[in-house]
């Protein structure tokens, strides 16, 4: 047992109050009619004996104050019998009731923020399962067996494979992922004023990507569609409409030597020379080749792998979010969860209420009124 706020015990100084009241009450004598007063001698004062008349009541009052002081000090109870009953968690999306079956007594929970009981409403589906697993592992007392029902493939992973402090019974349940993302390849949209040679190169790249022809060039006042790669290779500044489109998240290929600072290399050739540079512009970006877009000026264009390399720059593949559940079984070796000390405040509150009721009962009992 320890105290979170030991200074709260200073409240025990309040013990002085009932003690002093109790002692002070002793010195108040009720006047007693005595006609033969003249034969009493006043020399001898009554002895100020420290005597407690109603020590049960005093004791209860002191106990009450002690309990209040202890409540202020916020006692914690360490150790004790940790609750190591088995826990089973079910990832959202799985059919919890079916998995549970007839096991009505076990502690079944959702693997969701707060770990609600299985009987509660099904939580919203997308949740960081790996992170929740780590949290649950640290929340449960050491030694509590943990069973995890997880969809296969498993979503909600993050950078590291879950590493837990205990052995986990890993139960993958085959479940088709809810969302299948269709991979979309960008289409090049050429702006007006591009040279034919450049258009031929772009058309070749487009054909390498999607095996489709280049769409007709667009004028300065019509920006490319979303998902396209704009190409404004004409000299001069970018048209206003195109600039606005870039600001909103588009990617535009501009002529080499375009003005501006903050260009960073995006693609290098085999010799390590920078071929493509990019620059953030709002939430979009500008791209420029290091030389004019022709095989003579830019030999890397002759490389058969160039369209793929460019595609990796233009549309970087999304990080994987699904993995086969069998490969993601948690590792052992994390630090064991610290045993959570138990707060005694509820018990103390109950004790205080009881003591207060007892004190009132004793203080207002008719027997005491008659005695006093």
Partner 1 sequence: MSRTAPIAIPADVRSRLKALRLLPRRARGAHGIGQHASRSRGAGLEFAQYRAYEPGDELRQIDWKLYARSDRFFVRESERESPITLWVLLDATASAGQRDRARPDWSRLDHACATAACLVELALQQSDRFGVIVLTGEGVQLVPAGHGPRQRDRVHLLLRKVQASGRWPAVTALAPIWERVQAGDLLVALGDGFDEAGIVLLERLAAARREVLHLQLLTAEERDFPFTEGHRFRDPETGEELLGDGRAIRADYLARFDTAQRALQARLQSSGIVHATGYLDQPLDQPLRVLLGAGGGA
**Residues at the site binding partner 1, with contacts judged by CB under 8 A:** 29-42, 44-47
CB of 36 to partner 1, least distance (A): 5
Whether the link from the prior residue into 153 is cis, omega within 30° of 0, is yes
For residue 6, what are its two tokens?
């030991």
Cα–Cα dist 248/232, whole Å: 17
For residue 282, what are its two tokens?
């709002």
Of 158, 142, 137, the C-alpha closest to 89 is 137
CB of 62 to partner 1, least distance (A): 25
Q: Which CB atom, from 41 or from 367, has the smaller least distance to partner 1?
A: 41
Compute how many other C-beta atoms are within 10 angstroms of the C-beta atom of residue 206. Answer: 23
Q: Which CB atom, from 42 or from 319, has the smaller least distance to partner 1?
A: 42
CB of 24 to partner 1, least distance (A): 14
Q: Which CB atom, from 35 or from 121, has the smaller least distance to partner 1?
A: 35
DSSP state of 326: G
Burial class (CB in 10 A: 0-12, 13-18, 19+), 251: buried
Phi, psi angle pair for 318, to nearest 5°: -70, 150
For residue 107, what are its two tokens?
């502690």
CB of 45 to partner 1, least distance (A): 6
Which residues have a Cβ under 8 Å from the Cβ of 330 and sit 6 or more positions away?
133, 137, 148, 161, 162, 163, 164, 168, 170
CB of 74 to partner 1, least distance (A): 45
CB of 25 to partner 1, least distance (A): 13
CB of 363 to partner 1, least distance (A): 23
Handedness of CA 13, 18, 19, 21 (dihedral sign): positive
Q: How far is CA 300 from CA 200, 268, 276, 288, 303, in A?
A: 15, 9, 11, 14, 5
Question: Is 289 within 8 Å of 306 (Cβ atoms)?
Answer: no
Of 299, 206, 211, the C-alpha closest to 253 is 206
């Amino acid at each position: 047992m320890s105290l979170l706020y030991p200074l709260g015990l200073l409240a025990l100084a309040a013990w002085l109050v009932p003690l002093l009241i109790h002692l002070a009450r002793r010195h108040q004598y009720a006047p007693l009619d005595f006609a033969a007063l003249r034969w009493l001698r006043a020399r001898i004062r009554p002895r100020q004996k420290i005597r407690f008349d109603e020590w049960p009541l005093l004791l209860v009052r002191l106990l009450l104050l002690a309990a209040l002081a202890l409540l202020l000090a916020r006692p914690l109870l360490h150790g004790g019998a940790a609750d190591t009953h088995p826990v089973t968690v079910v990832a959202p999306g799985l059919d919890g009731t079916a998995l549970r079956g007839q096991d009505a007594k076990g502690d079944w929970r959702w693997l969701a923020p707060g770990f609600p009981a299985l009987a509660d409403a099904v939580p919203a589906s997308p949740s960081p399962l790996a992170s929740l697993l780590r949290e649950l592992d640290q929340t449960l007392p050491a030694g509590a067996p943990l069973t995890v029902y997880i969809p296969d493939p498993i979503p909600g992973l993050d950078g590291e494979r879950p590493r837990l402090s205990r052995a986990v019974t890993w139960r993958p349940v085959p479940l088709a992922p809810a969302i299948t993302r269709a991979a979309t390849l960008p289409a090049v949209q050429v702006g007006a004023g591009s040279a034919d040679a450049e258009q031929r190169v772009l058309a070749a790249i487009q054909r390498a990507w999607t095996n489709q022809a280049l769409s007709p060039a667009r004028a300065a006042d019509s920006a490319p569609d979303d998902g396209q790669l704009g190409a404004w290779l004409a000299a001069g500044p970018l048209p206003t409409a195109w600039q606005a489109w870039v600001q909103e998240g588009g990617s535009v290929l501009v002529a080499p030597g375009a003005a501006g600072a903050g260009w960073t290399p995006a693609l290098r050739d085999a010799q390590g020379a920078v071929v493509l540079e990019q620059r953030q512009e709002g939430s979009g970006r500008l791209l420029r080749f290091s030389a004019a877009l022709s095989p003579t000026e830019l030999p890397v264009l002759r490389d058969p792998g160039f369209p793929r390399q460019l595609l990796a720059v233009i549309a970087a593949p999304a990080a994987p979010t699904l993995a086969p559940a069998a490969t993601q079984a948690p590792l052992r070796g994390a630090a064991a969860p610290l045993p959570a000390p138990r707060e005694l405040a509820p018990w103390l509150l109950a004790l205080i209420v009881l003591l207060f009721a007892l004190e009132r009962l004793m203080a207002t009992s008719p027997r005491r009124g008659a005695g006093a």
